[in-house]
Structure 1
Amino acid sequence: MRRPTTALVLACALAGATGLTAHAAPPPAEREYIVVLEEGTNAKGKADEHSRAHGAQVKHVYQAAMKGYSGRMSEQERERVAADPDVAWVEPVRQVRATAQSLPTGIDRVNADASPTAAIDGADQRTDADVAVIDTGVDSSHPDLDVVGGKNCTLPMLPPEDGNGHGTHVAGTIGAVDNGDGVVGVAPGARIWAVKVLNDAGVGTTADVVCGIDYVAANAGTIDVANMSLGGAGSDDGQCGRASGDSEHSAICRAVSAGVTFAVAAGNDSADAANSTPAAYDEVITVSALADFNGRPGGGAPATCRQDEDDTFADFSNFGADVDLIAPGVCITSTWPNGGYNTISGTSMATPHVAGGAALHKATNPGASPEQVKNALQRAGTKDWTWPSQDPDGTQESLLDVTGF
């Protein structure tokens, strides 16, 4: 019998998480300049002279790549500095940001860079699939995401924006754009539908979750895959919730029957996923987490954002017969609100790798049913990860591998 529950929480282990930022530096001061000196000029001496005579607030002195310095000064001070015969020119400081796109370890480990459909090469080819992120919302203005619509079930009068970060992170692992900037997802450029069912503290109710699933089912003609990196207490009655009065299970069964593939988090309690929903439901793809610190099999890589053993079953991950696949879920770098990027851990982070894999399969097999998608992902999986390790259930799950998708 399913235990009653009203609150659902993120399937995300944040302990030891490390934050990364999107930009190399904050916007430059309005009156910050680079002063380029003529060759042969003593840069340090000239910077000191300009500081004393003209009030320049020197920040950097350049002596190897060029002769010059940077500093803050008023327009009048800039004009006086520029009039010095030892000055070649004075230019305003401009904002710069990181432009190199990184391949997150999880994307590397599931071989998304080898997928012909993902076609990861920095050329911004978009995956022709639609994925709903049932979560805390998604940053709709993030430059690395293609958010095309959605619904706010927590505050219906507002757009489904993300004030937490979790949903945006999930969305990036699924479909961050392959544009040579930031990160890239498993299914680059997949169209993201932001379905906000958790508030900005990462907590929600089954009523809001059912609202989100209902929205997905209503748009099953467009939405191919749904990601649920959340969970609460409960079990599977084997009858799509009819025997135990489980509206969440009933709603998921209807959405699956309408053609939507659901990837869900196993949970982070180091316990049997049979006691957590939606992880326990047979109609979904339940995903446990692999600890992987370098994107490669074999183990031995040092831990990064949290302590765990490389290439093994994550020490926090739920386990059991309800788990269908394992995917990287430790120290995963992805998108974050306000155009940022962040590195966090949890089965929440493993699940969107599988949702991205499902999106790749649907992009080339649009008529595939959820069961066919699930079977395809399981058949393509590999056992090339260290086992037995912390996984206590006696079964080695297949590790997601999208090479052939």
Structure 2
Amino acid sequence: MRPRRSTVLVAAVIVATSTTAAASAAAKPPDGAVRGSYIVTLRTGEPGAVANEHARRYSAVVEHVYRSALHGYSAVMSAADARRLAADPAVARVVPDGVAHAATQTVPPGIDRIDADVSSTAAGNGKGAVDVDIAIIDTGIDAKHPDLKVVGGVNCVPGSTSYDDLNGHGTHVAGIAAAKDNHVGVVGVAPGARLWAVRVLNSQGSGTFSSIICGIDWVTAHAGTIEVANMSLGGSAAEGSCGDGGMHEAICASVSAGVTYAVAAGNAAADAAFFVPASYDEVITVSALTDFDGVPGGVGTPTCQIGTDDEFAFFSNFGADVDLVAPGVCVLSTWRGGGYRSISGTSMSSPHVAGAAALYRSTHPAATPAQVQAALQGAGTFDWTADPDGVQEPLVIVGGF
């Protein structure tokens, strides 16, 4: 068990040290300073005119002139020239320039809880990307979102041609699975994985089985490229079989082609046996865990929704068809329009597992869907409580992937 720790990095800090002794200004730049770059504040004179005069006198290259928030300029020069400049009667102070970074990325508690931050890709350290392809069968994906690597897709909703997300749900799901590790926004379980937007639901988040089959069919046709598919959707229907001429048969063919499917158990607080595709044996069905702080122990404080930390989510479906549990309450992820939002549901749990499957496939490229499922279940833990059916499923853990 890893110790509890903060999952939010600090905001940007500009490292710059002022000096009151003119003779020592810029003598030894502090850690984080930009060598050869200085900020000069003036006692007197019009900043632009003084900057031009100093450029000639001290061999400086002026970059910015400040007249409102600061009275002075910035310039590039040698340390020796900076010391000479600091002794000029018109100069109040010379300080080394510093380095700033954009506001840092948030590691959502769910990423922390399943140990994606200590996997082989170490989600959240700002480095690396997973060499794998994930299809998001959903409302589409915001293809222009800067935190997502969308490489293509298809639209299966009648009357439309674009796979762009007009709802937000699919973009949220995509970010949980694979948001980039880029110091911006959030990070996914399989950071920077290539995402394929398979739009089967309309702008209201609903659709038909025929459209979903269209999406499955497209993914199957690209099974040589796409290793994992996520379906955070479902409906009430009989389970059917691999020969039913419908969605179950399509899933069976796709899994046989080598695609691993993670699917949401559903949010009716009922037995998943009455919902498809959750009831299919060929997929990895995922229920929801309430986790507010990214660590076990049951002490997290509720954030966006009521619930008890480290317990089965009150809305989640359950039953013998469920294979894994994953965080699904108050999950922060990407949203359409380049934004971010926190929402809850087994829709959020499933892409945690899709990302986990992608991590595993990235290092075990020959693994079959059954082998992927076995690996994920074998690596899971049981440090959570309150499964309503009394048969606890493992919580997905990817620290060893």
What is the TM-score normalised by the length of structure 2?
0.75
Once the two structures are superposed, the pairs formed by residues 308-323 of structure 1 within 5 Å of their partners are 308-323=307-322
The structural deviation recorded for 1:98 is 5.5
Which of the numbers 188, 196, 203 marks the counterpart of 2:191? Answer: 188
Mapped pair 1:151 → 2:154? yes
Return closer, same or farther for 1:220/1:311 CA change in 2, 3 Å cut-off: same
* Alignment map for 1:92-171 (pairs within 5 Å): 99-118=103-122, 120-123=124-127, 125-155=128-158, 158-171=161-174
Query: Structure 2 matches for 1:72-87, cutoff 5 A?
Result: none
Q: CA RMSD in A?
A: 2.6
Say if 1:105 and 1:292, in contact at 8 Å, map to a contact too. yes
Map of 1:206-245 to 2, 5 A cutoff? 206-237=209-240, 239-240=241-242, 242=243, 245=244
Give the 4+ runs in structure 1 shifted more than 3 A: 67-70, 117-120
Q: Does 1:402 align with 2:398?
A: yes
1:158 Cα shift? 1.9
How many angstroms apart in 1 are the aligned matches of 2:160 and 2:313? 39
Relative to structure 1, the CA distance from residue 392 to residue 117 in structure 2 (aligned partners, 3 Å threshold; closer, same or farther) is: same
> Does the CA contact (< 8 Å) of 1:235 and 1:281 recur in 2?
no
Shift of 1:111: 0.3
Alpha-carbon distance between aligned partners in 1 of 2:215 and 2:198, rounded to the nearest angstrom: 6
SS of residue in 1 equivalent to 2:239: coil
Cα separation, partners in 2 of 1:118 and 1:211, compared to 1, 3 Å: farther
Per the alignment, residue 275 of structure 2 pairs with 276
Alpha-carbon distance, 1:235 to partner: 3.1
Paired residues of 1:118 and 1:127 also in contact (CA < 8 A): no
- Distance in 1, matches of 2:278 and 2:372, equals 17
Partner of 2:359: 360
Q: State the 1:134 CA deviation.
A: 0.1
Aligned 8 A contact 1:381 1:401 in 2? yes
State the structure with bigger RCO (CA 8 A, min sep 6), 1 or 2. Answer: 1
- Contact kept in structure 1, 2:123 and 2:190, CA below 8 Å: no
The structure having more radius of gyration, on CA atoms, is: 2
Q: In the alignment, what sits opposite 2:62?
A: none
Residue 298 (structure 2) pairs with residue 299 (structure 1)? yes
Q: Counterpart of 1:236 in structure 2: which amino acid?
A: E
Task: Find the aligned partners of 2:162 and 2:123 in 1 and give their Cα distance.
Answer: 32
Alignment match, 2:81:
none
> Does the aligned pair in 2 maintain the 1:266–1:288 contact within 8 Å?
yes
CA distance in 2, matches of 1:140, 1:97: 25
> Where does structure 2 lack aligned partners over 5 or more consecutive residues?
1-11, 13-40, 44-66, 71-91, 93-99
Match of 2:381 in 1: 382
How far the C-alpha of 1:188 sits from its partner, in A, is: 0.3
Q: Deviations over 1:20-72 (max 9, x none)?
A: xxxx9xxxxxxxxxxxx988xxxxxxxxxxxxxxxxxxxxxxxxxxx9779xx
Q: Find the aligned partners of 1:300 and 1:68 in 2 and give their Cα distance.
A: 49
* CA distance in 2: counterparts of 1:233 and 1:104, whole angstroms: 31
CA displacement, residues 171-216 of structure 1 (integer Å, 9 cap, x when unaligned): 0001000011111000000000000000010000001000000000
Within 1, Cα distance between the matches of 2:245 and 2:312? Answer: 30
368-377 or 113-122, larger mean C-alpha shift = 113-122
1:77 aligns to what?
none
- Paired residues in the alignment total 317
In structure 1, what is the Cα distance between the partners aligned to 2:347 and 2:139? 12
TM-aligned CA deviation for residue 147 of structure 1 = 0.3
- 1:119 to 1:106, Cα distance in 2 relative to 1, 3 A: closer
Match of 1:370 in 2: 369
Asked if the contact 2:140/2:200 (under 8 Å) is kept, the reply is yes
**Structure 1 stretches lacking a partner, 5+ long:** 1-23, 25-36, 40-66, 71-87, 89-95
2-side partners of 1:192 and 1:121: how far apart?
A: 21
